[in-house]
A and B are shown apart, each in its own frame.
Chain A
């Protein structure tokens, strides 16, 4: 192909353009340093202190602060490395006792900058993806707009405070290796990722089936050899992570910290997933039956209070246990796994992995709204594949970003989150339109030779040229309008009309409304996976 004939020029231009995108986003991130940060900020500071001032065998035992270490060991090692620099910047920051709730300017600057620097991993992941894959230049730019300028990442990482950019960077790297066909490397990086944050394990079945079929299923002898190699790699990664804790005999303790099932089915603010409907159905049924004269006891635990104990919070429908959610996720994944087994194609891996995280998000136990990033970011890789994909991504991405709004509840950040979402929607609109319309003016600029090449490169998208470009249809438009209504109700009308009454209603509305789109999107993705050849 053309691309291979002049790899050098191609490469430098891609790199510099990508760096430009990254530079702009870094400027915005720098400006956001003094913005609101959640308790996660103190959580991570505490982890710096734990890993710096305690020996390794105390890491998962320490209880000085309520924010105990509950990520897998690689993340602890990572914090340990960071804490070395943190100690140089301000020794008080890594002090276990004196550092509690320490919020000096130096701490804010150090922690914020560490997140910004760690985003380089995301940059590398995106670079790998755009380097290898036979995308047109427009599609590449589209992916940068969607991933490097993702508003969700800015809200969660650079305002709320977490290291998702770094972790998603690892995921993107892993996907890029899978798409290249370097399965072993992809599996290795995924194993590393699991040892950074175990929430990513939802996609493990997809990886397992895919690697088994695509990498190992090559006849008996060769296959057996490959299985052993893959197994050895994974075991080695896990040994590196958990080895020291096994040595100290603390595996039980580490696992109990990492999986706190004592937490409830839903987070204090309900993530927009399947369980929202389940709870609503339960409440509705209870209400209805009470109206009919049946004596329905009010459950002791309530959802809206945020505190969920051991007793069942449901009045009528059966209690949901972690095992139930686990089975439901697996069931939801099952059709996809069969498809993978039948037709393991490297180019579909991104979609499958995103689908797995979507299942985890919809049916998982104690899901955070932030987890929606786990599927929105990988889906960006395939968003430019077809007009249909673009349409669905457009809505899904807006909804996912909108569902993050309750994270930033202070007035100071209100304009920022709204502007981020608006900017993202406009950028998506512009880039999808640029991708799917061959405007007369664009044609005039693009020289004849290039047009030929482009059509050759992405024959699939040229089919859509005739259909009149990018639009979301009237249902999509109505839905977006509804989103606006929900926001206006929650922000302005509700406090004005009802005052302090029913304070949970605005959040509930956001959850339900966003859950609608995410459920729909999930069904669509499932269909897409089943239909694709």
Chain B
């Protein structure tokens, strides 16, 4: 039907822009593998070039930053016996970047530590290597992230795209598929955090993505294994747990095959108090309501737990009632949004978690929305990246992600879903003007003495308002989905 409509429209507006679209269609005629190869090479190029830049805590003793944390874990795991990894001993000072991620991270550190030890023993020697910063050491560390990305995230994307678009013989538009791959692979936030700031999110997100693809291809056991691995790499993956739980539980109820106790045991509880400026509910409203003063930490914990649960509950219920592939993707998005907005101890970097399902849904969500979400996520990380001296790569990737949405397929996508062009256009304009001002203010003006975090707070509120809007919108979308199915089912019956 889609194709027919296109054919009808074509004679009306026979312009050159159609031509460019046709060119991109014939360009990507080689199928999913061809496009994936091309885009992944470009994605790797972007990653390698970002990795040329500075990292978190470069040259700032005594504590340095995430780069030193990861290196320190390699130092600990390669030099100490396994029983001492998580405990405070004479050789392991937990107050200096103690391991605070689940064991898979520790194993990964051990493995990477062995590689570092082989090529550059000084960089992981016990005690003496603290704050080790050499050109070669940095290069090796960067390459461990690159290889993890290439070996875990990239294949997961390929698997997902194959499942989502129905293999190489898919009837869909090749150019759109290529665009979808690009949106997932060239996610600017992920690139900046992993290859700029320095972390291994690609591993846990890649494992989650693999699990998602497995769920979509009805391989529930594989999905469980992959998702558990992901949870064991970073506990933040629990943001997705309600969606996995809901979807799998829902499909189990239908199939009467409750083989999923593993997943139901995963309790998505977070602990701690918020510290940094994050675009979530607690941080943004703290300007008006001093949560920390009004409530004790304990009661706040409870409040946030209730709020988080209430937010992800609708999408989970929807999945239990009517599990579907699209609904599952929406569920992932909504539950991770819920955690990002309402749970405690949320980091700026946690925006990566909702971004992954958002990019997976790029073909579903209106182009404008997914673009604005991407830019908002970038903006919310701007203060962090400024501290890491990653302004130049930030700007380059900001521009490239806008260009990605202006690519022939992206542009068509934006046009296709445009309900009221004038309103959308004005919203986008306002957004761009606002973010431009925020960027310029943050970079040029010193905040007043009295409120040193004034600009951070402004940026976070701006992003929070957007993300809250998105959450409402995507929740509504998910429920509309089940209504559609419902109506469709009724029609079938009659």
Contacts and interface: CB of A to CB of B under 8 A. Distances in A.
A23 B393 contact: no
A14 B15 CA distance: 11
A13 B17 contact: yes
Given A430-B30, A441-B29, A442-B25, A10 B407 contact: no
B259 interface: no
Contacts of B23: 137-138, 141, 434
Given A419-B44, A430-B34, A447-B7, A10 B16 contact: yes
A78 B331 CA distance: 58
B210 to A, nearest CB: 24
Interface stretch (A29-37, A190-198, A297-305, A309-317): A29-37
Interface in A3-23: 9-10, 13-14, 17, 20, 23
A484 interface: no
Interface residues of B, number: 47
Q: Is the interface of A mostly helix, strand, loop or mixed?
A: helix
Interface in B1-55: 7, 10-11, 14-20, 22-23, 25-30, 34, 37-38, 41-42, 44-46, 48-50, 52-53
A446 interface: yes
Interface string B115-141: 000000000000000000001100100
Nearest to A113: B392
Contacts of B50: 31
B16 A415 contact: no
B19 A450 contact: yes
Contacts of B16: 9-10, 13-14, 137
B264 interface: no
Given A30-B395, A434-B23, A420 B174 contact: no
Considering residues A28, A31, A32, which has the most beta carbons from chain B within 10 angstroms of its beta carbon? A31
A387 to B, nearest CB: 16
Given A13-B15, A34-B52, A441 B174 contact: yes
A31 B19 contact: no
A13 B15 CA distance: 9
Given A27-B400, A137-B16, A449-B14, A35 B25 contact: no
A24 B49 CA distance: 14
B48 to A, nearest CB: 5
Interface string A394-420: 000000000000000001100110011
Contacts of B14: 447, 449-450
B114 interface: no
Interface in A508-533: none
B399 interface: yes
Contacts of A65: none
Nearest to B49: A31
Contacts of B174: 441
Contacts of B15: 9, 13
B41 A31 contact: no
B19 A442 contact: no
A250 interface: no
A445 interface: yes
Contacts of A442: 22, 25-26, 29
Contact of B20 (A13, A34, A420, A439): A13
Given A24-B403, A419-B45, A430-B28, A31 B22 contact: no
Given A13-B20, A439-B26, A449-B14, A415 B48 contact: yes
Nearest to A17: B20
Contacts of A33: 52, 392
A431 B7 CA distance: 25
B80 interface: no
Considering residues A412, A416, A427, which has the most beta carbons from chain B within 10 angstroms of its beta carbon? A412
B420 to A, nearest CB: 24
Considering residues B34, B403, B406, which has the most beta carbons from chain A within 10 angstroms of its beta carbon? B403
A21 to B, nearest CB: 9
Contacts of B44: 415, 419
A325 interface: no
B396 A30 contact: yes
B53 A34 contact: yes
A288 interface: no
B411 to A, nearest CB: 9
Contacts of B406: 20
A422 interface: yes
Interface in A418-470: 419-420, 422-423, 426-427, 430-431, 433-434, 437, 439, 441-442, 445-447, 449-450
Contacts of A447: 7, 10-11, 14
A206 B174 CA distance: 45
B52 A412 contact: yes
A26 interface: yes
Contacts of B396: 26-28, 30-31
A420 to B, nearest CB: 7
B397 A27 contact: yes
Contacts of B37: 426
Contacts of A20: 403, 406-407
Interface in B42-80: 42, 44-46, 48-50, 52-53
Interface in B145-182: 146, 173-174
A430 B31 CA distance: 11
Given A27-B400, A416-B45, A426-B37, A433 B395 contact: no
Interface string B198-221: 000000000000000000000000
Contacts of A109: 392
Nearest to B31: A441
Nearest to B401: A27
Contact of A32 (B34, B49, B397, B407): B49
Contacts of B393: 30-31
A30 to B, nearest CB: 4
Contacts of A445: 22, 25-26, 173
Contact of A23 (B25, B42, B136, B399): B399
A30 B45 CA distance: 13
Interface in A127-147: 137-138, 141
A30 B136 CA distance: 23
A430 B173 CA distance: 16
B19 A430 contact: no
Interface in B430-460: none
Interface in B399-424: 399-400, 403, 406-407
Interface string A105-133: 00001000000000000000000000000
A109 B392 CA distance: 10
A230 B387 CA distance: 58
Contacts of B17: 13
B400 A24 contact: yes
Contacts of A416: 45, 48-49
Interface of B: 7, 10-11, 14-20, 22-23, 25-30, 34, 37-38, 41-42, 44-46, 48-50, 52-53, 135-136, 139, 146, 173-174, 392-393, 395-397, 399-400, 403, 406-407
17 contacts: A13-B17, A13-B19, A13-B20, A24-B403, A27-B399, A31-B49, A31-B52, A31-B393, A32-B52, A137-B16, A412-B135, A416-B45, A416-B49, A423-B42, A442-B25, A442-B29, A447-B11
Given A434-B26, A449-B14, 18 more contacts: A13-B15, A20-B407, A24-B403, A26-B399, A27-B400, A30-B392, A30-B395, A33-B52, A34-B53, A109-B392, A137-B16, A141-B27, A416-B45, A419-B41, A427-B38, A441-B25, A447-B7, A450-B18
Nearest first, the 3 closest Cβ-Cβ pairs linking A and B are: A31-B49, A13-B16, A30-B396
